Amino acid sequence: MILSGKPVAEHITAKASERIEELKAKGIMPKLAVIRVGARPDDLAYERGIIKRFEMAGCDYEVFEIPEDCTQEDLDRCIDARNADEKVSGILLFRPLPKHLSGNYVRDAIDSDKDIDAMGLFNQASLFAGISKAYAPCTAQAVMEILHYYNIDLTGKRAVVVGRSLVIGKPVSLMLIGENATVTVCHTKTKDLAGELKAADIIVASAGVAKMITSDMVSPGQVIIDVGMNTDENGNLCGDVDYEGVSGIVDSITPVPGGVGAVTTSVLLKNTVEGAFRINHDKL
């Protein structure tokens, strides 16, 4: 079974649209502020996906472009203005930032109610503490949305997460633990990755290495969520999993492209709408 991201994204988008109507009836419109420093091609591609998604859902957005050679103060001022703007319900700052800017410094600058990609300490700690109102990083949340949409039972299942990053590996692991999976976190220092993977019920691949999970490392019956966004030897987009070799063995797998990546912008939308409920709770 191919776990396509498209129906998941459509489902989340439809639900978000309903909530937008609910807000509009009370004179409120959610709005995403995208803050982009410079014009990296990756950021521009993500931005196009966001715009498409938000237009589809009828949700406001605005892109704030800051020159690549801006000062820390320019960036801080841009974030502060979006925090202060009552119309803005979600703020997304593209990263990585140019090297002369401090990511740590701005990390907690975003109002936690508008921090829809969980950059800040408040949302990260809430995630750690298992507080349900925490925003999770959008890609990590997209993994969970796919598992939920396809009714993949997690309780007591052995989930192996490959990668321990702050934006995917760690938050996904915590969310899987929160949903009663037995979770193993693997990484570059793991000795027998193939052994760990073979014994899994569910694999979340977020290593960032093209096609590193091959047919000899998986087992029948498994569910694989491939978070990888890599380029293969022919310059084509591919995941961390060797899809051709693996998809015939396992039970279900997300394609790349068209899997997790297709869901991320709908999570951004969902969280931007949620942000509007939070910052307007006195009016609702």
Question: Least distance from C-beta 201 to a copy of itself, angstroms?
Answer: 10
- Residue 91 or 174 having the CB closest to a copy of itself: 174
Cβ atoms of 30 and 272 within 8 Å: the answer is yes
Four-CA torsion 190, 144, 265, 70, nearest 10 degrees = -50
**For a copy of itself, which is the closer residue by CB, 180 or 214?**
180
d(CA 18, CA 266): 14
Residue (39 or 199) nearer to a copy of itself, CB: 199
Least Å from the CB of residue 39 to a copy of itself:
28
Helix 121-129 / helix 169-178 crossing angle, nearest 10 deg: 40
Closest distance to a copy of itself from the beta carbon of 158 (Å): 8
Please state the closest distance from residue 182 (CB atom) to a copy of itself, in A: 4
> Minimum distance between the CB of residue 187 and a copy of itself, rounded to whole angstroms?
7
Cβ proximity of 215 and 242 under 8 Å: yes
36 and 65 Cβ atoms separated by less than 8 Å? yes
**Nearest approach, Cβ of residue 122 and a copy of itself (Å):** 6
Nearer to a copy of itself, 110 or 183 (CB): 183
Q: How far is the CB of 260 from a copy of itself (least distance, A)?
A: 22
Which of 187/283 has CB closer to a copy of itself?
A: 187
| Element of type H or E holding 63 | strand 60-66
Q: Please check whether residue 21 is in contact with residue 13, taking contact to mean a CB–CB distance below 8 angstroms.
A: no
Cross-strand bridge partners of residue 33: 62, 91
Nearest to 258 by CA among 269, 271, 243, 248: 243
Which positions touch a copy of itself (CB under 8 A)? 121-122, 124-130, 155-156, 158, 164, 166, 170, 173-174, 177, 180-187, 189-191, 196
Which three-class secondary structure state does DSSP give residue 91?
A: strand
Q: How far is the CB of 208 from a copy of itself (least distance, A)?
A: 17
Question: How far apart are the C-alpha atoms of 113 and 83, rounded to whole Å?
Answer: 9
Q: Which is nearer to a copy of itself, 106 or 127 (CB)?
A: 127
Question: 1 or 125, CB closer to a copy of itself?
Answer: 125
- Using omega within 30 degrees of 0 as the cis cutoff, is the peptide bond preceding 96 cis? yes
- Please confirm whether the linkage preceding 257 is cis (ω < 30° from 0): yes
Instruction: Output 205 or 238, the one with its CB closest to a copy of itself.
Output: 205
Report helix angle 261-279 to 138-149, nearest 10.
110
